[in-house]
Structure 1
Amino acid sequence: MKMANLVNNSSFCVVFLLILALENLGTRAETKAFFVFGDSLVDNGNNNFLATLARADTPPYGEVLGWEPTLPYLSPQLKDKKLLVGANFASAGVGVLNDTGIQFRLHQLGVGRVLVTGTGPLGCVPAEMALHSRDGECAEELQQAASLYNPQLVQMLDALNKDIGHDVFIAANTNQMNMDFITNPEKYGFKVSKVACCGQGPYNGLGLCTPLSNLCENRDEYVFWDAFHPSERANRIIVDQLFNGSNTYMYPMNLNTIMALDSRA
C-alpha cells in the first residue's frame, strides 16, 4: 500500500478503492496484470505529475503479491513491457463520482477479480475528531454513514457475483479492520488510536504533515500517521487481513484463497 505524504481535504478518507486483477482468459495465470484505482491510500506517484500539494513522492512499501510493482499511469516510464504489468490510476484527493460505476462493467473485457474496499471509520480519523470531538468520541453521524454504506456494498457485490455466476467481486471490510485498532489498540501493539503521529491542533488532526508539525517519537505506536491515513504499521496489519482475513473482513474470500484458486486455473 502507498500513502501520499500530504493531504489537503477530507475527501481523502478511504472513500472508494478498486483493485483490478486482469487476466487474458485464453492464456496462463502468469500473464495477469494488476490495475489500481483509488485515492491517497494507494496513489504511488500520479499526483507528482499534477499541480497539487497532495503528493505521493516517497517509495511505496512494496508488493506483497510478489509481482512487479505497477507504475503510475502518468509516469513516462510506463511503456513497452511495463504496460503488461498493469498500472496505478489512483490519485490523492479523488472522490466517488457517478460515472465510476463503469469500472464494474470491466468484467466483460476480461477482468479476473475486482477487490473493492468499503469506506473506513470516517468519524474516527484525526481530521474529523479535530472538528467534531470534545471528549475523544468519534463523530457519530459520519460513523453511522460508514456503518450503512459497507453492508450495502457487500450486498451489491454479492448480487453482481450471482449475476455473473462466480466470485469476481471481493469486498474488503476496511471499516472493521480499522475499528479493531481504534477500539482495542493494545491488542495490536498500539498505544495511541485517535491522535495522529504527525500534525497539529486537536488530535493532530488539523493541516498538513510538514516539518513544522508535531511529530511523535515512535510512529509504530500510533494507529494514524497523519490527519487521514493509517500508519505504516497499521497498513501492514490491514494488508495481512486482506490476504488472510476471515469472512468478517474479506467476503466471500481473502486474497490468499483467490491466488490459490487462480493459480490452478
Structure 2
Amino acid sequence: MAKVWSAIFTLMGLFTLATASTAPAIFIFGDSLVDTGNNNYITTLSKGDIWFNGIDFGNGLPTGRFCNGRTTPDYICQIMGVPSPVPYLDPEANGRNILAGVNFASGGSGILPSTGYKYIGRIPFERQIEYFSNTKADLISVVEQAENASHLISEALFYINIGSYDYISNYFLSQSRVSQLYSVNRYQQLLLVKFAEHLKDLYEMGARKILVSNLVPLGCTPLLISSRNPDNGSCVHYINSIITEFNKGLENMLKNELQMQFSDARFILSDNYAILSQVINDPSAFGFKYANESCCGIGRLRAEFPCTPISSLCFHRADYVFWDAFHTSDALNSILANLQYAGSPEFVRPINLKDLMALS
C-alpha cells in the first residue's frame, strides 16, 4: 500500500506549476489550521508566532502559522503558482498586494461568535466576512472599476476551513454553556444554519468558486486522545460519531441547499475526515510513523500543553501526522493539498480544485 500511494503522488506530479490551473486570487477564511498571521496582530492567547512553530518554513522562524511549516492553502498556492495571500491584518495588506487574495483566518475562531472565548481575542467567521467586504471595496479602488473587481472575485477561489473550534473550544469544554443549552443534534443544526447564512453572504458579495473543508476526526487528535482516552491512546469514537453527523449535515447543506439555490456558483467539499481517517488507519502507507501523538508539546502524547520553546520536539518531523496537539504537520498538509487539488470524488467532490479553477 505504501508503494501504491508513493507512486500515485509521484505520477500525479501535482507540483509541476506549468500544468496547474491558476486562480487569479485566493480568499481564505477559517481557524488556526489556515491562519497565516492574523492573530499576530490581536490580543489573544491563541498565538502562532512563537518558537518552534515555523521551524521548517522559510528561515525557520515563526510566522504566525500554527505548524512546523506550511498550511494546506500554502501548498494549494504553490501548486497553482500564485503567492500565499497576505493576512488581512498585516500592514502590507493593501494596494496591489491584495490582488492575489487575502487571508482572513484566525486561530481559535469558529462559526459562532462565542467560540474560542477562552482565548480572549479571535476573529469569528462573521467578522472575517465583514473584513472581506472591506477588501472588496479596496479592490474596487485598486482596479479602478467595480466591474473589474467583481470579475476578479467571481473567478477567485474562496477557501474555507472552519468549525472544529465550535466543538473543541465550545461544545466539548467542561462546564460549556452551549452544551447545557443545546443537545448535540440541536447544536449541529445551529452551526449549519449559521454556516449557510455566512456562505450566502459570501455569495451575495460575488463568491462563485467555493471550497469548504469538513471537520477532521477530532476524536483522533492527540488533544482529545490524551484527555479522553489516555490509557490506550486510541481514537475517541463517540466524539468522531458526533463529527461524522455534522459532516453529513454539512455536505447535505452544500449539495441540496446552496448548490440548488445558487446554480451559477460551485460549492465543493473537501472530505478532510476521509483523508485523515485513511492516514490515521494506515500511516505507513502515506509515509508516516506516528499518527496519535504530537511532534511538539508537553505531557502524554506531547499533547497536554501547546508547542512552545520549552516543549519536547521530535527530530524527524515528517514522520508525524500531527505537529502539535491539534494542528496537522507540514507533511500532512501537503497530502491534503494534493488531494484537494486533483483528488477523486472520494476525497473532494463533486469536482476537484483543478477542475473548479478551469471553469469560466
Q: Determine if the TM-score, normalized by the shorter chain, exceeds 0.5.
A: yes
1:124 corresponds to = 220
Paired AA for residue 34 in structure 2:
V
* Mapped pair 1:48 → 2:40: yes
Question: 1:165 offset after TM fit, Å?
Answer: 2.1
- Structure number with greater Rg is 2
Structure 2 gaps of 5+ residues are 1-20, 50-61, 113-190
Q: In 2, Cα distance between the equivalents of 1:80 and 1:213?
A: 40
Q: For the residues of structure 2 that align with 1:118 and 1:139, how far apart are their CA atoms?
A: 18
What does residue 4 of structure 1 align with?
none
More helix by share: 2
Alignment of 1:122-201 (within 5 A): 122-133=218-229, 134-159=231-256, 160-166=258-264, 168-201=266-299
SS in 1 for 2:285: helix
When residues 162 and 219 of structure 1 are mapped into structure 2, their CA distance, relative to the original with a 3 A threshold, is same
- Output one character per residue of 1:212-240: Cα deviation in whole Å (capped at 9) or x when no partner: 22221201111111000111101101111
Residue 73 of structure 1, aligned match among 88, 102, 105: 88
How many Å apart are 1:31 and its aligned residue?
8.5
Q: Please identify, of 179-188 and 156-165, the stretch whose mean Cα deviation from structure 2 is larger.
A: 156-165
| SS of aligned partner of 2:327 | coil
Instruction: Give, as a single letter, the amino acid of the residue that structure 1 aligns with 2:240.
Output: Q
Q: How does 1:223-242 map to 2 (within 5 A)?
A: 223-242=321-340
TM-score normalised by structure 2 residue count: 0.61
Describe the SS at the equivalent of 2:291.
coil
Q: Give, in whole Å, the separation in 2 of the partners of 1:30 and 1:247.
A: 21
Q: Which residue of 2 aligns with 1:34?
A: 26
SS of 1:43's partner is coil
CA drift of 1:167 comes to 5.1
1:35-73 Cα deviation digits (max 9, x unpaired): 111001111110000112422333463422222321111
Residues 46 and 56, structure 1, Cα contact 8 Å, conserved in 2: no
* Equivalent-residue separation in structure 2 for 1:172 and 1:93 (angstroms): 21
SS at match of 1:158: helix
- Quote the offset at 1:152 in angstroms: 1.7
* Distance in 1 separating the partners of 2:84 and 2:280: 30
Counterpart residue number, 1:8: none
Deviations 1:146-180 (A, max 9, x none): 11111221111111112222552111110111111
Amino acid at match of 2:94: K
CA contact (8 A) 2:35 2:104 kept: yes
User: In 2, Cα distance between the equivalents of 1:30 and 1:120?
Assistant: 27
Give, as a single letter, the amino acid of the residue that structure 1 aligns with 2:26. Answer: F
Distance in 1 separating the partners of 2:48 and 2:310: 19
Secondary structure at the aligned position of 1:111 is classed as coil
| Number of residue-to-residue matches in the alignment | 234
- Stretch deviating more after TM superposition (40-49 or 195-204): 195-204
TM-score (norm 1): 0.82
Contact 1:154 1:251 in 2 (8 A): no
Tell me if the contact between 2:23 and 2:82 (Cα under 8 Å) persists in the aligned partners: no
Q: CA deviation at 1:82?
A: 1.8
Change (3 A) 1:212 1:81: same
> 5+ residue gaps in structure 1?
1-28
Q: Which amino acid aligns with 2:254?
A: L
Identity value in percent: 35
Deviation by residue 1:63-105 (Cα, 9 ceiling, x = unmatched)? 2222232111111111111232221110000022165532333
Residue 306 of structure 2: aligned partner: 208
RMSD: 1.9
C-alpha distance in structure 2 between counterparts of 1:171 and 1:155, whole Å? 10
CA distance, structure 2, for counterparts of residue 156 and residue 96 of structure 1: 15
Farther-moved stretch of structure 1 (50-59 vs 200-209):
50-59
